[in-house]
Structure 1
Amino acid sequence: MDILDDLLSGVRARGAVFCRSVAEPPWAVRFDAPAPLALGTMLSGEAWLVPDGGRPLPVRQGDIVLTRGGTPFTAGDHPDTPPQIVVLDSERCYATADGPAAPRRDYRLGPRTYGFTADGSDLFVTAEYPMRGDVCERLLSALPELAVVPWQREFAPLLDLLAAEVAREEPGQQIILDRLLDMLLVRALRAWFARPDAAPPAGYRALGDPRIGLALRLLHERPAGPWTVASLAAETGMSRAVFARRFTELVGSPPLAYLTEWRMTLAADLLRERGASVASVARRVGYADGFAFSNAFKRVRGVAPSTVLRARDVDSPAP
């Protein structure tokens, strides 16, 4: 396990919602309520993406688009083309000429496919990830609201498979699409975070250092372990002082501060699980008693873990 593995552990596609838009210029499709994380790509043709309140960005064939935060956006052949179709979700859309309250025309051309014509030259595919929790938030906060990742050779096999599979309706189809989406998402995130102007999650770039990368992997594999600066230094074959200095330089925080922050992120999600208690979560993130854990959680997160438990019970009352 490493940082990206952990951040994506709650982001696996399961029944991901796909939308395949077929059009001939001039065209524009508005996505009115996207999920917290959405991935899009032009399988053929070119387009512009215009997020509400943001600047238009060109999308060329094979580029991967990542949108986060649930901000509505419009995809079209030109930034000024008004939307002709508004997509609400995988089952609901309407033409802007009619409005949402008017009798609906059926713009579904096939499985997961919308448009005015099945023979359009431009083919834009989007897929949405429902995301919840503090671990996922660490990933989302490292992304801009709209990121366009230029085509790379390693995208090509996955995009070819996606083009072949997304319009089919066969047994096991959703599993194939979900796994393709997972692989495309990881490839796109790696490409985005490799940019010099990107701001990847804390510690991400340090994974490239053989010794500090090893320490980070150990912390993510065994976050509840009885780690000390000395034990981590020994695992990496470095002196305590050199390890602590190098870790802080590359990661941006001292080793045990990083570990505490990561433990509290995990704990915030664990506390929201049905049946969880302060004591049980404390043990799962490496604390011998609930009192020490509660103090650490409140210091890092600003609220007591009992507050998270109460909010969970209000949002999800027991049956």
Structure 2
Amino acid sequence: MWTTPSCAIPAVTGPLGETLHMFRLTGTLYCRAELSAPWGIDVPTLPGCMTLQVVTAGRCWLEVDGTEPQLIGPGSLTLIPDGIPHRFRSAPGAPTEPLFDIPVQRLSDRYEIMRHGGGGELTQITYAVLRPDHIAARRLVAQLPPVLHLDRFDDDDAGWLHSTLRLVAREAQALQPGGETMLTRLADVLVIQVIRAWLDTAPEARQGWLAALRDEQIGRALTALHRAPEHDWSVAELAQQAGMSRSAFAARFTDLVGEPVIRYLATWRLQLAHDHLRRSAEPLPVVARRFGYQSEAAFCRAFKRAYGVPPGQVRRDGAEAG
């Protein structure tokens, strides 16, 4: 479990900051939980999702296999980036109930209130299940630790945290029109701030793809590639963006990212196309050109090699899910 120190969080700029700018979340579920001791909740695996927990009153224990149990107090928030199973308890050893076995008051498709427990000391938690909505977000999430915890700050530099948590608590209590949209935007802010703190202090944030984004030269090439995935990039042209020789650029890119630049470009394009197909009704030839393919046939062949199904199937699946 990673826990931020009690200090101000500086902004992350450059290619890494631009990647955070692409970080978008879709709110899948918001729950305002009113829990009276003794209580315990067993949260199952939530594939493709991350969870954000904000304790607005009281305290609880968070347990994630492979990490030490964490006591979470009021004004603290915890991010579990990869949807792994976890448990909340009022006290160590308190019995738990499976999350989906606990009755809730459903206010909409995405918003619910849970009242659960034995009638003792009260804990209130605003719980969000969120889905990263861009390939950059998913790549970043893949490098995060299993749990990120942001302690309550007591200094003036962390006014953003207090203000945002107050807004979360207010929206969770008020249930006004547009409340789900507000909570989604506030969740964006909280998730990005937790990640920024980790990026600034954790040694693991200077490895792999994140190290490549931080690299002054490779970062410039990645920024250019990300901004214009449809461009007919060559290794020589990307090396020019980085201000390096072709051979030195190719070697450093592979060393930092873990794959050659042209393979990275092909994967990036197809992942963008996959996401786009689930949301768009654009004709396939237009989608192909949007992501750097000169013909629909070439795009379809590459897509099927990567995903095992043709682009049209992903589009149909996306329409049914919507």
TM-score by length of 2: 0.71
> Is 1:309 aligned with 2:312?
yes
> Is 1:238 aligned with 2:280?
no
Match of 1:283 among 283, 289, 308: 289
Structure 1 distance, partners of 2:249, 2:81, is 36
Letter in structure 1 aligned against 2:55? M
Q: 1:247 to 1:135 in 2, by over 3 A?
A: closer
Q: 1:291 to 1:230 in 2, by over 3 A?
A: same
The offset of 1:42, in angstroms, is: 2.3
The offset of 1:141, in angstroms, is: 4.1
The offset of 1:204, in angstroms, is: 2.6
**Which one is further off, 251-260 or 146-155?**
146-155
Match of 1:76 among 72, 89, 107: 89
Match of 2:77 among 64, 70, 73: 64
Q: 1:248 to 1:156 in 2, by over 3 A?
A: farther
The offset of 1:258, in angstroms, is: 1.4
Aligned partners of 2:269 and 2:291 also within 8 Å: yes
Q: 1:208 to 1:131 in 2, by over 3 A?
A: closer
The offset of 1:184, in angstroms, is: 0.6
> Is 1:191 aligned with 2:197?
yes
Structure 2 distance, partners of 1:156, 1:118, is 29
SS across alignment from 2:254: helix
Q: 1:119 to 1:225 in 2, by over 3 A?
A: farther
Alignment RMSD? 3.9
TM-score by length of 1: 0.72
**Percent identity at matched positions?**
30
Q: 1:179 to 1:32 in 2, by over 3 A?
A: same
Aligned partners of 2:235 and 2:246 also within 8 Å: yes
Structure 2 distance, partners of 1:196, 1:142, is 12
Structure 1 gap ranges (5+): 95-103
Q: 1:97 maps to what in 2?
A: none
Deviations 1:36-62 (A, max 9, x none): 3221122344322245x7766314234
Structure 1 distance, partners of 2:113, 2:178, is 15
Structure 2 distance, partners of 1:164, 1:117, is 25
Deviations 1:203-223 (A, max 9, x none): 233222233222212211111
Deviations 1:120-168 (A, max 9, x none): 4533221122567877654554456x51323264644322332343212
Structure 2 gap ranges (5+): 1-14
Q: 1:39 maps to what in 2?
A: 52
The offset of 1:263, in angstroms, is: 0.7
Structure 2 distance, partners of 1:285, 1:132, is 17
Structure 1 distance, partners of 2:44, 2:301, is 42
**Which one is further off, 117-126 or 224-233?**
117-126
Structure 1 distance, partners of 2:250, 2:314, is 38
Deviations 1:262-309 (A, max 9, x none): 01111222344564554332211101113333443345x153x52x42
Aligned partners of 1:272 and 1:312 also within 8 Å: yes
Letter in structure 2 aligned against 1:207? L
Match of 1:3 among 15, 19, 34: 19
The offset of 1:261, in angstroms, is: 1.2
Please show how residues 1-319 of structure 1 align to structure 2 within 5 Å. Answer: 2-6=18-22, 8-9=23-24, 11-13=25-27, 17-31=29-43, 36-50=49-63, 57-61=69-73, 62-67=75-80, 73-83=86-96, 87-88=99-100, 93-94=102-103, 112=113, 114-115=115-116, 120-130=121-131, 138=139, 141-143=142-144, 146-151=146-151, 153=158, 155-193=161-199, 195-197=202-204, 203-273=209-279, 275-299=281-305, 301=306, 303=308, 306=310, 308-310=311-313, 312-313=315-316, 316=319
Structure 2 distance, partners of 1:309, 1:257, is 23
Aligned partners of 1:107 and 1:115 also within 8 Å: no
Q: 2:3 maps to what in 1?
A: none
The offset of 1:314, in angstroms, is: 6.6
Structure 2 distance, partners of 1:314, 1:23, is 38
Letter in structure 1 aligned against 2:147? A
Aligned partners of 1:37 and 1:130 also within 8 Å: yes
The offset of 1:229, in angstroms, is: 1.9
